[in-house]
Structure 1
Amino acid sequence: MTPWFAPIVWEGTFNIDILNENFRQRNVTIGLTAFAVKKYTVFVETFIKTAEEHFMTGYKVNYYIFTDKPEALPTVSLKEGRKLIPVRVEKYERWQEVSMRRMEMISRLSETRFVNEVDYLVCIDIDMRFADHIGVEILTDLFGTLHPGVYSRVRQSFSYERRSQSQAYIPSDEGDFYYAGGFFGGTVLQVYRLTKACHEAMMEDKKNGIEAVWHDESYLNKYFVYHKPTKILSPEYLWDNGMGSPPILKKKRFLAVPKNHAAIRSNEK
């Protein structure tokens, strides 16, 4: 548990049968958002195929894939009640810009579309694969995920934005955890509030010529300082095998796909 009594979800801390009984009675639909802009379309097939095997099995799921190339998305066989929905977006030259624009796009569609189509939103990175069960144990009003590279460090070593001129600024004596930008979510209303606040903070910084140290992740962390998540996911839910297999990790549920970051982010064909 956190100091504000939000559960931190690890293997062995939940009974999935009890949770499934509750969520199935409510007939929930889960929206999964991911961005496949420019070369990142190469990750979509593995992402969707492994999600069909491990993500919210037995539930209705809308996969919202934001992309500048809808025609490049693969055809993947989906289970009943699950849909792959391309959402066309603008192509930005810098990968940092693509990253930061995610908040704007999710915010806008939460208000105009998602609120009418799903009960919960899960917002995650596309360059990943599902490797083990991820189910309704993650669902709550608002959740974040402990960053796998930082979860065991003390607060003073977190890579928060430390420039006081930035809207993402967090003083050295504030903050609870360092959250990953690649896995957050909650109800549509709470995700709307989070992404809207982050986008507005980014635009204020941009107007003043400031770009936060870790882009959208910096603003996400600032938001969670003052709007505590009601549930936190352990690094089981976001891991990179390059960091090994510490004994505390009983499951590796969502794994980074090995890649050449420089090549995949470049503008060259």
Structure 2
Amino acid sequence: MITTCVFRSFCSQSITQSIPALPATPRDVLQPKRANYGQPLALIPQRNDVLTVTPWLAPIVWERTFDPDMIDSAYKSLNITIATTVFAVGKYTQFLQDFLETAEKYYMSGLRVHYYVFTDQPREVPRVELAAGRKISIIQVPKYSRWQEISLRRMEIIERHINETIHREADYIFCMDVDMKFHDRWGPETLGTLVGVLHPWFYEFTRDKFTYERRPESTAYIPMEEGDFYYMAAVFGGRVKEVHALTKKCHEHLDKDKSKNLEAIWQEESHLNWYFLHNKPTKVLSPEYLWDDQKGGLPSEIKRKRFSAVIKNKEAVRENV
């Protein structure tokens, strides 16, 4: 019988030999030193309108499920760097200014952040004033003939750059879409060993409504009777070694499908959902951390819109629809 590892952090993993041992990084759960904060009360639920913990005991992060002062106190005393990747290819360079400027206002404030901008037009990367301890690296990538190909290549490119440089430069990494902007705090409460984000259009649905890859011949295949949540590929992250393992496996699966002339229904997002089904995230972020402005007003369970996809004409920015 084949068994699947649910708690990856407790399983022995073989990591690419070319990646040396990383420096010690903090646990998912930290212990603040003499921080002043309100007493947590075990008998009074902070949220009773949403699921706040998964069946495998990973926290789901919503407003009022954490104390921001406690979290900030714990992490700001640590010597950590968060890598953050974005791809700005073709007309998507127009979104970089908003992404970077709002990130500098709301994203991981007070922590060291290293942005990695992958683009085919390095001269179009805007100059943005960065806070102390934050920097941008620009990496030139080719512009492919199909926007789907850009999506499919993302896992390969991230894997390669983690292997070559990022593993020496950061402790955690978030991989984000560029056609987004920050609106409110996105802090270290989001850090974890392996982190996924609930898709804003699917978090209310049952698994039979999820747009998983349903063809058995694809390596991204998920049967109708399986699946936990539907995760959006616009954001995923975790410790660098864990995200390397994720991107490596997704890259391998994408190549296997391509060898059979297959392309999963939602490209790398389909493979990401397969990966998270078989390698459970240790932390899940609510749709507060990945909203879609096309949905209009916020439902009652979304107390704060922290990060969202901007409204745009996709046909206009996808030059090769």
Name the larger-Rg structure: 2
Moved over 3 A (4+): none
- The partner residue of 2:274 within 222, 226, 229 is 222
Match of 2:265 in 1: 213
Aligned to 2:108: 56
Identity of aligned residues (%): 51
Deviations 1:137-191 (A, max 9, x none): 0000000000000000001111000000000000111110000010110000000
Aligned to 2:315: 262
Please point out which of 177, 188, 199 is paired with 2:229. 177
Could you tell me how far apart the structure 1 residues matched to 2:130 and 2:102 are? 11
Report the Cα offset of residue 46 of structure 1.
0.6
**Contact (CA 8 Å) 2:162, 2:244: kept in 1 or not?**
yes
Counterpart of 2:84? Answer: 32
Give the Cα separation in 2 of the matches to 1:205 and 1:106: 19
Q: How does 1:86-235 map to 2 (within 5 A)?
A: 86-235=138-287
What is the distance in 2 between the residues matched to 1:256 and 1:224?
Answer: 22
Q: Match of 2:233, SS?
A: coil
Q: Which amino acid aligns with 1:231?
A: K
Aligned equivalents of 2:159 and 2:242: distance in 1? 10
- Deviation, 1:241, is 2.1
Q: What is the TM-score when the length of structure 1 is the normalising length? A: 0.98
Task: Decide whether the 8 Å contact of 2:155 with 2:268 is kept in 1.
Answer: yes
TM-score normalised according to structure 2 size: 0.82
TM-align CA RMSD: 1.0
Letter in 2 for 1:214: W
Cα distance in 1 between the residues matched to 2:312 and 2:209: 27
Gaps of 5+ in 1: none
Q: Which residue of 300, 313, 317 maps to 1:247?
A: 300
Cα deviations by residue, 1:26-73 (Å, 9 ceiling, x for unpaired):
211111101001111010011000000000000111110100111111
What letter is aligned with 2:74?
N
3-state SS, counterpart of residue 167 of structure 2: helix
Residues paired across the two proteins, number: 268
Counterpart CA distance in 2 for 1:174 and 1:257 is 31
- Alpha-carbon distance in 2 for matches of 1:13, 1:24: 20
- Shift of residue 25 of structure 1? 2.3
Q: What residue ranges of structure 2 are gaps of 5+ in the alignment?
A: 1-52
Equivalent in the alignment of 1:74: 126
Deviations 1:76-98 (A, max 9, x none): 11111111111111111101000
